[in-house]
Amino acid sequence: MTTAEAHPSSAPPAAATRWAVDPNRWPDVAAVPAASRARTAIAEAVVRRTLRELPLRARFAGGTVLGQGGPALDIHLPDAFHRRIGRHGLIGFGESYMAGEWDAPDLVATLAVLAAHVHELVPAPLQRLRGMWAMRQPPTLSNTPVGSQANISHHYDLSNDLFALFLDETLTYSSAVFRGFPAEWPLLPDAQHRKIDRLLDLAEVRGGTRVLEIGTGWGELAIRAAARGARVTSLTLSHEQRDLARKRIAAAGMSDRVTVELCDYRAARGTYDAVVSVEMVEAVGHEFWPVYFRTLEERLIPGGRAVLQAITMPHDRMLASRDTYTWIQKYIFPGGLLPSVEAVDETVRDHTGLTISRRDGYGAHYAETLRLWRERFTQHADEVTALGFDETFSRMWNFYLAYSEAGFRSGYLDVQQYLLTKEDTPR
């Protein structure tokens, strides 16, 4: 099914209306927050001290230029920028971009420099006082069953039409695996199938295999598993994804082999030969990681295999930021937190009887995947507007894609494919 066939639409989707032009839609972007003179002064001092040492160039209103050269970062309203940073920390950095107060000729390169020097962005004395200046996550974002439904809906129920504008025809919203770089758009569908097939191979999915998929997406993995002769139960919390996945599965002639359920992973029942979950653990929340991995174990038969794809971040940064409220959580993925490789290892070891039998990293492939998505999103800017999304949304989404790409290009982020195995006989 092509993208156009998948999303006939003559009017903006209802989900998009909450992002449309509305002076009340972006209160923390439309108005520069009030910040004490002390916090604003400290923010400006930290920004100037940091930029002075980094390999980029920052040009402030008034003509001051700081930095060691490299990608250009233009800040047009320094007072507003510093007030946002002083009031909301790094959330203010992203909100200032959304407000159009700063830009960069090469946004990804600029953000990659910042990601590569993340340890230097906040001086050590302020790092030790993190609890005093860093915003804490609102308790409403906790990934309880009710909270998870709201958090997932915030992102994945935006609009199927929106995602179709920048994803390829497979509607796969996770890292592809390419044969070489640089990647080109026409090769993305094959690269996504290569990724899916590798996961299915790791899970040993074949004719008759009973598969539980945690996180449906728009159904491409379930379709390819069913094409191998497997029987798939796929779980999602997104109404939009469930409805379109069912249509795509029916169009592929696989409805008799695939069931898509609106169901929290904690409510899954039955046992399966294989469990597959692609970039879903990031939405679980660290307090529920033990529950998530125990669920994988409980749903597997003895000798079963669980295969995951997971985005990871450095362990020390994960520990430092796991209770912090971030720009990504506020605007893109409420309740989300990337695990570290160490956190996955510890959780599996301490809370399950599973064995991590294999782990492979593909960070460079995700950088290329994100580049293709970002370029495609930019190319379809007019269609994004036609769907009812305003300029602030478009800047937000572009910043999100560029921010994520920069994380992988700098090596700050990675993406792993895991094989977890369960013993043939219970302990």
Residue 17 inside a domain? The answer is no
Q: Do 151 and 241 fall within a single domain?
A: yes
pTM: 0.91
Write out pLDDT tens, residues 354-386.
999 999 999 999 999 999 999 999 999 999 999
Q: Do 178 and 103 fall within a single domain?
A: no
Q: Do 120 and 168 fall within a single domain?
A: no
Residue 12 inside a domain? The answer is no
Q: Do 221 and 108 fall within a single domain?
A: no
Task: Say if CB 254 and CB 223 are below 8 A apart.
Answer: yes
Looking at 93, 118, 135, the residue that finishes a domain is: 135
HEC states along 52-65? HHCCCEEEECCCCE
How does residue 53 score in pLDDT terms, banded at 50, 70 and 90? confident
Q: Do 235 and 352 fall within a single domain?
A: yes
Residue 188 inside a domain? The answer is yes
Q: Do 238 and 180 fall within a single domain?
A: yes
Q: Do 119 and 147 fall within a single domain?
A: no
Q: How many domains does the chain have?
A: 2
Residue 21 inside a domain? The answer is no
Distances (CA, A) of 278 to 98, 245, 256, 382, 391: 29, 15, 23, 31, 31
DSSP 115-150: HHTGGGSS-HHHHHTHHHHSPBPPGGG--SHHHHHH
Residue 404 inside a domain? The answer is yes
Q: Do 155 and 64 fall within a single domain?
A: no
CATH value at residue 376: 3.40.50.150
Distance from C-alpha of 23 to C-alpha of 31, rounded to nearest angstrom: 10
Distance from C-alpha of 126 to C-alpha of 230, rounded to nearest angstrom: 54
Looking at 135, 164, 199, the residue that finishes a domain is: 135
Q: Is the model's pLDDT at 92 over the cut of 50? A: yes
Output the pLDDT for position 73: 72
Residue 181 sits in which domain range?
141-421
Residue 106 inside a domain? The answer is yes
Q: Do 150 and 83 fall within a single domain?
A: no
**% residues pLDDT > 70 (the chain):** 89
Q: Is the model's pLDDT at 303 over the cut of 70? A: yes
Looking at 80, 100, 135, the residue that finishes a domain is: 135
Q: Do 186 and 307 fall within a single domain?
A: yes
Q: Do 201 and 290 fall within a single domain?
A: yes
Write out pLDDT tens, residues 116-149.
887 766 656 555 555 555 678 888 889 999 999 9
Residue 2 inside a domain? The answer is no
Residue 347 inside a domain? The answer is yes
Task: Say if CB 121 and CB 310 are below 8 A apart.
Answer: no
Angle among Cα 186, 419, 329 to the nearest 5 degrees reads 65
Does 78 sit behind a cis peptide bond, omega within 30 degrees of 0 on the bond before it? no
Q: Do 190 and 119 fall within a single domain?
A: no
